[in-house]
Structure 1
Amino acid sequence: MYCLSSCSNTRYLQNGQKLYTGSKLEIEKSPEITANESKDLKEQMEELLRPVPNSSFLGMRIKLYIYNKTKTDKTTGIKHWLNQKFGEPPVLVSDVNLAKNSEVLQGYLQNNSYFQAGVNGSLDTTAKKGSAVYNILAGPSYHIASVSFPKGKDSLRSAINKATRRSILRKGKKYNLDDIKNERVRIDNRLKNKGFYFFSPENLLVKVDSTVGKHQVDMDMIVKPETPDRARKIYTIDSIFIYPGYSLRDTGRHKSIMEHYGWYNVVDPHHTIKPYAFKNTVLLHPGDTYSRQLHNNSINRMINLGPYKFVKNKFVQHEEDSAKLDVYYYLTPYKGKSLQLELQGRTTSANFMGSQININWKNRNAFKGAEAFTIGLFGSTDLQMGGSTKGNNVYQGGIKTGITWPRFISPFNFKSDNAYIPHTNLTLGYSINRRVKLYTLNSFTGSFGYEWRENAKRSHQLNLINITYVNPTGVSAAYADSVKHSQNPTLAHVIDKQFTFGPSYSYTVTNTAQSYKRNTYYYNAAIDLSANLYGLISGANADKGHIKELFGQPFNQYVKIENEFRYFRRISRKSKLAARLMAGVGIPYGNSTILPYSKQFFIGGSNSLRGFRARSLGPGTYNVADAYAGSDFFPDQSGDIKIEGTVEYRPHIFGFMEGAVFTDFGNIWLFNANDGQPGGVFNGQFLNQMAADVGVGLRFDLTVLILRLDLGMPIRKPWLPKGDRWVFDQIDFGSNSWRKDNLIFNIAIGYPF
């Protein structure tokens, strides 16, 4: 195979051409540079070298091989498409500019404290291939001996000195040109929030003296003498104007038809939106000192308002040479209404193949207050293609409506000046789930609550009320008979009526949007309550047979808590390590002895333990396959407690293809024991009742979606006797029956987390 990618590729080269295979950086060993410093420098400098050699996987230059095999003079056809879409032309040794690369590397080192660095490049070639070698003498690194900032009592110098309390430039730190640039930008940002609208980072100059000895530098920051007067002034806000229907055709300001509201003016000749809609977006006020942060937050809020796709602004001096600014916001709206159609396909490890259609209609400014009104319709089919339950197909359909207000609708006055608008949400929905030959579930849902963000990392969602009512109908005689004769209460629990009502709260903190970081994380905690106060007042006690009702319906009473933590570590530019740990517990009490079925936990499947069939695992050491051997019914297994974790390595293979090597572990348990599921209750032996699997996968980044293929197999089966639960010794890839029972193939859209 190596010859396939190497010899076969070089045979296409013309006389005198050599395939460029990459570069090697050799940093001369020195007591002045540690091994870790040398390693870090190599990683950083390798990304600066040009050209980049042809991509390879396990030594095979697959994209180059495709290019060579599909090369054609035609501009149409499958060969041309493969060549242009998946091929990669050869990178040649003649494309390498040693002098330029050496200059770039030397400049990088000097900008990162190695003032005495030297770089010499050379080529190492054979008849058909060649690489570049760069010998580097880094020399000693220079550190900061002292830093001084502008002195003086005028407003500008005083503001700069106050802004230096968290300076990036500190005594003892390595010299770094980027730190100097970033410090100028940081100070400029602080000044912009203090009213210095016309100041810029270029008005600051840092003088560096490297002659002080002992490989140290003195730094002196000054305000350039040629800095204009207006950059030295503090500006305040005078008047604010908003144009909600702006387009490029507009050339005038139309102030004669503006409408004054509160502290701002709205110019909207067609009355497309009510002026109060901007109450939460305009954070600057007349008389305020100009603040870039409040200005940027206002822009973000106007975009997050919903009806507008573009927002631009302009600051104009109120009068010539004055220290006052007029603010103009120009908002370009979306089309008021939109219709979206989605088609989906899926398959599961439970032998289901399905499709779904979603139709979503949205009005972005339903009542002229930036309210978003949505109606969503969906329908799906899941056909069971094999197994003993073949023909038990699932058909679903439903409607969901919602209204979102870009503000808190509350008797209390909440104020914030960050970049995010709080929202109030009202939703109502109905869905029907029909399992052929078994039963039909009718579900009614409703909620009212709030969502808001503290900052880019932290967000909250509080629903004052969540209501769910599930009413089973159309239960087949065969299913009813199975429930009657079954010892497993799961079959009956699926078709129990469910009535839940109460608040819920969710808190999320994440920095995954900061993709440049090597380590990123995601954490979510949620609590869901139902009928807690009403159940207490009514004296509900299911254990004593005191089942209470509301509106003629028994209600569910519980507390449910969930936690999920994800961790991502970037190992290389395109490869990462991903890990997830989830833990949840639902405590039924009062009017309930078990969580309602729709609120229970499930485990197994394409986004869970991928070496086990969907919802087939647990609870505890209970095994549904043994209990229902030869039966037509294999009920989904559910529990009140869940622990689940995953560790996954995601290497980049080439182009749009990514690989995965993973292991999953976890299980579910019952809070209260029942005779129908022996071994299912949570106890002190829960760690010994964990299931585990391993597997490999592929991910295809198709731009509009990520197609995921995973193949998993169990390595620990909790239902087996103690001491026999690890099943490494049973692995037999040559056995057809073992493969059928243990290899689980999952097709899914998107990453598992």
Structure 2
Amino acid sequence: MLKSAKYVFQGIICLLLLSACNSTKFLQEDQYLLRSNTIKLKNEEKIENKRILQDELPGFYRQRKNSNFLFFFPREWFYFKTSDPGDTTKLDRFIRRVIAEPPAIYSEQLADETASNMERYLRQKGFLDADVLVEDDINRKRTKANVTYYVYPNRPFLIDSVFFSSEDPIIDSMLQRVKEESHFQPGNQLDLGLYEQEKQRVTAFLRNNGYAYYYGNYFDQVEVDTLDQDHKGKVYFNVLNPFGDSTHQRYRIGEVTILPDYDPISTDSVFAIDTIIDGYRFLLEKNAFDVRPQTLIKTMFLRPGDLSSEQNYQRTGRQLSALGMYRFWRIKPEPDPDEPGILNYRVELTPNYKMELGADFEVNYTNRSTSGAGNLIGFAINPSFRNRNLLGGGETLLTNFSTGVEMNFSDRSRFWNTVDLRLQTELFFPRFRDYLGFWSLYNAQPINKKRRAEEDSFYAQLRENAATRLSLSYNYLLIIDWYKYNLFNASYGYDLQRTPTKRYLLNHVGVDLLIPQTQPQFDTLLADNPFLRNSFGQQLFVSLLFRDFNYVYNGRPNRFNESNYFSFSLEMAGAELWAANNIYNGLANRNDIWRLSDTINFSQYARLEMDFRYYKQNTSKRSIASRFNFGIARPFGFTTDVPYVKQFFVGGPNSIRAWAPRGLGPGGYQDPNALDRENNFRLYQTGDLKLEFNLEYRFEILWQMKGALFLDAGNIWTIREDPARCGSQFLFSGTERADGCFNDPFYKQIAVGGGFGLRFDFSYFIFRLDMGVKLRNSYPNFRDESGNALERAYWESFRSFGLSRVAFNFGLGYPF
């Protein structure tokens, strides 16, 4: 009875708060708050691309209802409460600026304008007979209005035929050759919204074929001759001539002048060098080249004698930017005053600083109170050094050093928990260099002879835009009283930014040497866990032809304010040595396994990981973000288990936030270390397969504070049975061993966590605090919090809830 009374009292308090925030009491007579806008599509025939109409029509609302602060409190109420003449305090002004919104008072005139704009939009989309009606519904108290827009698109008009013309005979003939590529095709819906895209297409085509000073305003407005009886229309496009001239001027490239040490401040430059190299003129104020001329010539797609091309102009600019050696660059086209139809180019390059120092600082916090192990706070300092034009050919040397520590303030006897040191040096060459000859062999194949000439082929893009990368790195990780390892890495490959949204990273050669050293406490665990013991030895990963391939797609928002992110990673080690070892054994009739030494084995494994993210910006203040992550790793050859450093784990600030890093799984296995206060929460659980799903609803609270409601789910598994970890195997149906160990099917072992997060957005960086709570365990509970017997319960009970059950995670940036 006492609990029931408590809940009733809390409900009454909430109702009183909401009633106190009633905005309608501030309204004048005949004023109505806009409560909702609704669109109802009415049509006898099926509407193609109906989703586009449903998504774009709300963009024509001339007035929208007010939003709520913290979901419940109407923002217009704060506006009314702070709008009296005496409300001039700093707090009043802050509330009006950050929280309040002017009230959305319903206007019949604005509703009619909205309907007119919708009709105009529909006619642009080809619904020439469209009609939109408005209906307003005033509530009984005459304080709020609901507005409904009844949209009747009616039958759309289709394209019957398309015609291009120009009084300039050369341009007219060129238009006839490419009219098949038009966005307007016979049989398609008459969507005049494509007019701008068509104008851009024609403009780009002509500017790429010598018409350097052709502009879109020469592309005359589209004319449509409708045939009402057939609901079809003929579309006419016309390219106008320049004012006062009968033809457009077509240009060829004349002289290309390159100034590698241009100073934009200096007005009286005296050039020490004035020379012609491979048809390009170089002007230098210094007596020597800092960058080899051939390096700059290779970036030039503006070649003397060619037709001027906007595409080649942009390609040259991208190549100059990719060098990373110039603070500013400018390409100035200048018509030759003495020779009509000739366009000279002046390339002005302002060098960047040769050397540059930088540093980053990271902080992370993980709450471990859910297991009684305390909290860990980590700090990392990451200085970096950049040396441009190291060897005189545009090479860039980038060195990063990272030093991080993790501390446990709740256990003074073991204050230091983790030390992590990383050193990485990368040398980037500005051009594609096929040192191994692999791509030359690929390009020599007859099937590729045609493709290699195409500018959009992968090989052509690789040759033009890829940067060659040589990398060396070292990583030292120490977990006090547990283990430490040294990891050395060397790799050679390419980095290709093929488009603004697509990036490829390919490594041909890769060598990793892992040398771990364990402490007695960890040796005890290894003795009882063969899976962990086999994956934790000294190992050498060698790849000679293929090491890894990474593809990243970072999409831009579409018309629905949706964007996607996708990454794909494939890694392989030891395949070439394993094949060579097998060939040797076959020829020598032996059964040897090659090793670097008695303690260091060559490892063979393949690892694949995919990450897909979806973002939806509902309004300027609210959005949805989701992520799905899948990974699988398998050993092959003479290796029995995937190396520990290449296995998957879940939990932590950027994963399933209700669990600590490496504290969940694999499968239905429950790590006893998660319940042991003495081990300082040194968790190590990893697996061969990972499934993870994350969902966040992000919203603005006030000022620079933002909030998020999140839901995380997933787990890791072993592919084969692990006798030391009951229930860890990935299975589609449950099995029970002779010793009584039951392994649930994988879908029953999905762990679920949820919570609330705060984000403080300071533009350059974002502080994040996420508070996660376990909702569903990956293993069954057989007793509730009171000790009563249960029948395999997975979901958590919240009869007694406190902060001890909340996992706090602090970090920088968004988790995904």
**TM-score, normalised by the number of residues in structure 1:** 0.83
Q: How far did 1:347 drift?
A: 1.9
Cα distance per residue 1:605-631 (max 9 Å; x no partner): 333334433212334444322898687
Q: State whether structure 2 residue 590 is matched by structure 1 residue 575.
A: no
Give secondary structure in 2 for the equivalent of 1:189.
helix
Matching of residue 168 in structure 1 with residue 212 in structure 2 = no
Deviation at residue 524 of structure 1 after TM alignment: 0.6
Change (3 A) 1:552 1:476: closer
- Which of 761, 764, 767 is matched with 1:704 structurally? 764
Tell me by how many angstroms 1:92 deviates: 4.9
Alpha-carbon distance, 1:221 to partner: 1.6
- What's the CA shift for 1:140? 4.6
Alignment of 1:71-470 (within 5 A): 80=93, 84-92=97-105, 97=110, 100-117=113-130, 138=153, 140-150=155-165, 154-205=169-220, 206-210=222-226, 212-225=228-241, 232-251=248-267, 257-270=273-286, 271-320=289-338, 322-348=340-366, 350=368, 351-385=375-409, 391=415, 393-411=417-435, 412=437, 416=460, 421-470=465-514
What amino acid sits opposite 1:169 in the alignment?
Answer: F
CA distance in 2, matches of 1:336, 1:123: 67
1:668 aligns with 2:717: yes
> Structure 1 residues 303, 212: closer, same or farther in 2, change over 3 A?
same
Which residue of structure 1 lines up, in the alignment, with residue 665 of structure 2? 618
Superposition deviation, residue 494 in structure 1:
7.9
Q: Deviations over 1:19-41 (max 9, x none)?
A: 75366355584536x57877753
Amino acid aligned to 1:428: L
Distance 1:313 1:335 in 2: 21
Give the alignment partner of residue 548 of structure 2, picking from 505, 516, 528: 505
1:150 is paired with a residue whose SS is strand
Q: Does 1:21 align with 2:81?
A: no
Give the letter for the 2:648 counterpart: F
The amino acid across from 2:175 in the alignment is I
Alpha-carbon contact 1:197-1:290 (below 8 Å) kept: yes
**Partner residue of 2:371?**
none
Q: Distance in 2 between the 1:82 and 1:571 partners?
A: 25
1:586 partnered with 2:602:
no
Q: How does 1:489-568 map to 2 (within 5 A)?
A: 489=530, 496-502=537-543, 503-508=546-551, 510=553, 512-516=555-559, 518=562, 520-530=564-574, 532-533=576-577, 536-537=580-581, 548-550=594-596, 554-568=600-614
Residue-by-residue CA offset, 1:572-626 (whole Å, 9 max, x unaligned): 4553463414132131532x33233222222333333344332123344443228
Q: Which amino acid aligns with 1:104?
A: N
Q: Percent identity?
A: 20
Structure 2 distance, partners of 1:712, 1:540, is 55
The offset of 1:355, in angstroms, is 1.7
Change (3 A) 1:316 1:613: same
Residue deviations 1:672-713 (CA, integer Å, cap 9, x gap) = x66544554566759813433142443636133442625242
| Structure 1 segments unaligned to the other structure (5+ residues) | none
Establish whether residue 60 from structure 1 lines up as the match of residue 104 from structure 2. no
Give the aligned residue type for 2:225: D
**CA–CA distance in structure 2, aligned partners of residues 113 and 549 of structure 1:** 71
Distance 1:250 1:84, change over 3 A: farther
Instruction: For residue 376 of structure 1, report the CA deviation from its aligned partner.
Output: 2.1
Distance 1:338 1:5, change over 3 A: farther
Q: Size of the alignment, in residue pairs?
A: 741
CA-to-aligned-CA distance 1:1-25 (integer Å, 9 cap, x gap): 5875685373895867957536635
Quick one: distance in 2 between partners of 1:730 and 1:133? Answer: 43
Matches within 5 A, 1:733-744: 733-736=798-801, 744=807
Q: Is the 8 A contact 1:362 1:372 kept in 2?
A: yes
Report the alpha carbon displacement of residue 558 of structure 1 after superposing the two structures with TM: 0.9
Letter matched to residue 568 of structure 1: Y
Give the Cα–Cα distance (whole angstroms) in 1 for the partners of residues 683 and 390 of structure 2.
42
Matches within 5 A, 1:676-687: 676-678=724-726, 680=728
**Does the CA-based 8 Å contact 1:510-1:522 persist in structure 2?**
yes
**Aligned residue number for residue 23 of structure 2:** 10
1:726–1:462 distance in 2 versus 1, CA, 3 Å: farther
Query: Does structure 1 conserve the Cα–Cα contact (< 8 Å) formed by 2:569 and 2:608?
Result: yes
- When residues 10 and 101 of structure 1 are mapped into structure 2, their CA distance, relative to the original with a 3 A threshold, is same
SS of structure 1 residue aligned to 2:165: coil
Contact 1:17–1:93 (Cα < 8 Å) also in 2: no
- 1:527 deviation in Å? 2.0
Which residue in the other structure is 1:695 paired with?
754
- Counterpart contact for 1:622–1:719, Cα < 8 Å: no
Give yes or no for contact 1:449–1:464 (8 Å, CA) kept in 2: yes
- In structure 2, stretches of 5+ residues that fail to align are 1-13, 369-374, 441-458, 735-743, 783-788
Instruction: Give the drift of 1:302.
Output: 1.5
Q: What is the aligned partner in structure 2 of residue 650 from structure 1? A: 697
CA RMSD of superposed structures (Å):
4.4
Q: 1:148 to 1:380 in 2, by over 3 A?
A: same
Aligned residue identity for 2:644: Y
In 2, Cα distance between the equivalents of 1:569 and 1:380?
Answer: 32
Please state whether the residue corresponding to 2:53 is helix, strand or coil. helix
Is residue 2:61 matched to residue 1:49?
yes
Distance 1:651 1:376 in 2: 33
Q: Tell me the TM-score normalized by structure 2.
A: 0.78
The separation in 2 between residues aligned to 1:79 and 1:424, in whole angstroms, is 58
Q: SS at 2:37's partner residue?
A: strand
